Amino acid sequence: MTDAPRRKRVPRAEREQQILAAAEEVFAERGFQNTSMDEVSLRVGVSKPMLYEYFTSKEGLLLACVARIRADLHSTTLGAMAAAEAGGPRAVLEAGLEAYFDFADRHGRAWAVLLNESVIVAGPAEEAIEAIRGQQTRLLEDVLGRWLADASPTRVAVLAHGLVGASERVARWRLRDGSGTGPRETAVLLADAFWPGFAEVETSANP
Amino acid sequence: MTDAPRRKRVPRAEREQQILAAAEEVFAERGFQNTSMDEVSLRVGVSKPMLYEYFTSKEGLLLACVARIRADLHSTTLGAMAAAEAGGPRAVLEAGLEAYFDFADRHGRAWAVLLNESVIVAGPAEEAIEAIRGQQTRLLEDVLGRWLADASPTRVAVLAHGLVGASERVARWRLRDGSGTGPRETAVLLADAFWPGFAEVETSANP
DNA sequence: CTTCTCTACCTACTCTCAGTAGGCTACCCG
DNA sequence: CGGGTAGCCTACTGAGAGTAGGTAGAGAAG
């Protein structure tokens, strides 16, 4: 009946993952601002100084969450696009968009908080978040650069950033009001809007 | 030599504007998170309780700043688009985009912090910010709805939200790396990307 | 089995800062 | 020239980010 002295020792890597999982949950529920480190530590079942030992600061913890989910998103969309390679550029575009919206669906609020609404600061953390976001844009710049070999880098940049921004906002709209529209359908609608703008790519179509 | 007893009484409406101006500055410099109410009050030359009297909370102050700058942006772009009406839809689109990028240029970091990076919370403030943001989207939905009279509301929504998202991200990119590209040039590039997606509008062109 | 040591872990603080209680005073109006 | 009110202040409370300094479990070495 005396309460269990359940101090269970766990290797660092594993605890880090537990902490990230709990933090992602709480951030998604309450938002970054309204989350206290005490609450995260409570939910993991570990004391606060551990969080600081492993992640330096509250911002650091947020950054780690963002990095993790971004990496997941990146490999997911990359995989989908690679799988659609045979269908030609248009199919690749649609596959990437669909994978993105599907990812957003599966991760719900965590996606919105961590990828869109969370940036807070004007200091190094902002840089860090933008850098992580840059992965996605660079991926698109690569692909678009290959398709539009003779377009100016500026044009490629505008298209890539524009497409990323459009995806984010459309995904957010779906989360709030537009959930009646499925990932596939949404992807096609957005691709329809953007595709004709890629004038030069009109060569290889679906089989 | 005894320091001035400069308690200068100022009517409420005027003080509110002073406070908003100072807050916008500090938020832009430090970011929301790293700004203390004490610092804002110091800069205005007024004591902290005044800020709370007029704006309820730190979030409330942020919200007021956002609302103000959003309203400014809204009327600016609206005006530019109205002025371009005679040139046809394509000219209206370009004018709106150019006004947007120009606005972002003029407001520098304040724009980035207040319109893009500042949303913080999961509670009512998030709703409020989204509502303010909604102005812009609704404006576009109106215009697009008129141009694409026979398109489904879903398609119009995707286009409107997509275009807003694209503008935001492209503007942000310009602020960081792409400032070599002027507002006009950027607007044309983005319009080129999106325009052909508005298939049905191809009727009225420039004189 | 004992001791050594390394790393996971904790309790108990400090300090900054959002938000408030309660009162004062400049200015207008009669 | 005395109210009355609107603008203003000093001086607090409480929450929560971040830290100092120490405890203890588990494997290695004897």
* A122, B113 contact by CB (below 8 A): yes
Among A141, A146, A109, A143, residue whose Cα is nearest residue A32: A109
> How many angstroms separate the CA of residue A83 from the nearest CA in chain B?
25
Strand, coil or helix: B148: coil
Strand, coil or helix: B152: coil
Look up residue B201 and give its two tokens. Answer: 């509008």
> How many angstroms separate the CA of residue B8 from the nearest CA in chain A?
33
Q: Is A13 exposed, middle or buried (0-12, 13-18, 19+ CB in 10 A)?
A: exposed
A9 CB closer than 7 A to any strand C atom: yes
Amino acid at B14: E
Q: Predicted confidence band at B33 (pLDDT cuts at 50, 70, 90)? A: confident
**Does A172 or B133 have the greater pLDDT score?**
A172
Return the CATH superfamily for domain B10-55: Homeodomain-like (1.10.10.60)
Point out the least confidently predicted range of A119-128, A150-159, B4-13, B175-184.
A119-128
H/E/C letters for each residue in A53-81? HHHCCHHHHHHHHHHHHHHHHHHHHHHHH
Point out the least confidently predicted range of A57-71, A119-133, B132-146, B154-168.
A119-133
Question: Which of B24, B32, B33 is the best mutation test for A, with the most CBs of A within 10 A?
Answer: B33
Q: Which of residues 107-146 of A touch strand C (CB under 7 A)?
A: none
Asked if the Cβ–Cβ distance from B166 to A162 is below 8 Å, we say yes
Q: Predicted confidence band at A207 (pLDDT cuts at 50, 70, 90)? A: very low
B67-200: CATH topology is Tetracycline Repressor; domain 2 (1.10.357)
Helices H, strands E: what count in chain A? 8, 0
Q: What is the mean pLDDT of chain B?
A: 87
**Does B130 or A119 have the greater pLDDT score?**
B130
Asked if the Cβ–Cβ distance from A194 to B197 is below 8 Å, we say yes
> Using one digit for the tens of pLDDT, what is the confidence trace for B41-72?
999 999 999 999 999 999 999 999 989 999 99
Q: Predicted confidence band at B105 (pLDDT cuts at 50, 70, 90)? A: very high
Quote the longest CA-to-CA distance of chain A.
75
Strand, coil or helix: A38: helix
Question: What pLDDT, on a 0 to 100 scale, did the predictor assign at position A132?
Answer: 83
A12-198: CATH topology is Tetracycline Repressor; domain 2 (1.10.357)
Q: How far apart are CA A87 and CA A206, in angstroms?
A: 5
Q: Express the helix, strand and coil content of chain A in percent, nearest 5 each.
A: 75, 0, 25
Q: Per DSSP, which regions of chain B are E strands?
A: none
User: What DSSP state is assigned to residue B80?
Assistant: H
